[in-house]
Copies of this chain bind each other. A is one copy, B any other.
Amino acid sequence: MALFVSTYINKVDRKGRVSVPAQFRAALNIPAQPVFVLYPSFTLSAIEGCNVDFLEKLADSTSTSFDLFSTEQEDINTLIFSVSHQLTCDPDGRVVLPEEIMAHANITEQAAFVGKGKTFQIWEPEALKAHTAAARARAMQNRPQISLRASPAAEEK
């Protein structure tokens, strides 16, 4: 089962290639040629990444005959599948990030791969820092008793 953990910052070379972290490639569990899907996050300046299985399941669930012609399903399909990209790692474990989603996440020189359990995200490293700080601030506000026990750097991964 795919499990994406930890954060890796890799370089985007002149050709736009970036190494997918070896641990992530392993998590994609198609030994020879890891395949996955990327799409821009709806709510964040980041790229969402997931297994192909996930999108296939979604495709199944949104193409039953009765829903086929509903505006709602049509919109969901439009907003997800049309902006997704199916990618395959090259023999060295790299991929070329598609233009649009690189622009969406403001990625130019470096890409931060962030494990999210069953999925992962790709961030511009500075944007990731800001996002992480904001998330921490929210967590402290919502659960003050946790922040009291935690030392300032303890939740750093």
Question: Which of A11-19, A89-97, A102-110, A115-123 contacts the other chain?
Answer: A115-123
Contact with B along A48-73 (1 / 0, CB 8 A): 10101011111111111100110110
The interface of chain A, by Cβ under 8 A from chain B, is 1, 3-7, 23, 37, 41-44, 48, 50, 52, 54-65, 68-69, 71-72, 74-86, 98, 114-121, 131-132, 135-136, 138-139, 142-143, 146-148, 150-154, 156-157
Contacts of A64 in B (CB 8 A): 61
Report Cα–Cα, A113/B56, bound state, in Å.
19
Q: How far is the CB of A69 from chain B (nearest CB, A)?
A: 7
- Cβ-neighbour of A6 out of B56, B86, B157 (below 8 A): B86
